[in-house]
Amino acid sequence: MEKMIFVIDDNDANLTVAASALEDEYMVLTMPGAERMFKILEKKRPNLILLDIEMPEMDGFEALSKLKDNPEWDDIPVVFLTGRTDEGFEQKARNTKVLDIVKKPFTKENLLDTVKKYIS
């Protein structure tokens, strides 16, 4: 069965690059925000979520917290996507239940390598 990845980012270019990098090996669903992700989670369960941290309606920290507070979703692995480079921000991200952080702009190779670490 094909592995499914959700990519949540409010930037269309990032969604396009991520889908392009992953779609040969995985089923990829892209979404412009976390609210949409929660609606789709009611019907589909991904093997991994790539989650942008900085989004307008619900940021990645809030979305991750909501995911991990729900027993149906708390075991879904999450990797943050971020363009932020300051150390305090990265430390805050590392103190959550996120598996990894991918810096934007990411390359197809970098994203695929990271995903392969968590999906066999």
Q: What CATH number has the domain bearing residue 44? A: 3.40.50.2300
Question: pLDDT by residue (tens digit) across 25-44?
Answer: 999 999 999 999 999 999 99
Question: pLDDT by residue (tens digit) across 70-81?
Answer: 999 999 999 999
Query: Residue 19: exposed, middle, or buried by beta-carbon count in 10 A (0-12, 13-18, 19+)?
Result: middle
The pTM assigned to this predicted structure is 0.95
Q: How many domains does the chain have?
A: 1
| For residue 1, pLDDT beyond 90 | no
What's the confidence (pLDDT) of residue 98? Answer: 94
What's the confidence (pLDDT) of residue 85? Answer: 81
What's the confidence (pLDDT) of residue 87? Answer: 80
Average pLDDT over residues 98-116: 94
Q: Nearest 5 degrees, angle CA 52-CA 107-CA 48?
A: 45
Residue 120: which pLDDT band, with cuts at 50, 70 and 90? confident
Residue span of the structural domain in which 60 resides: 4-118
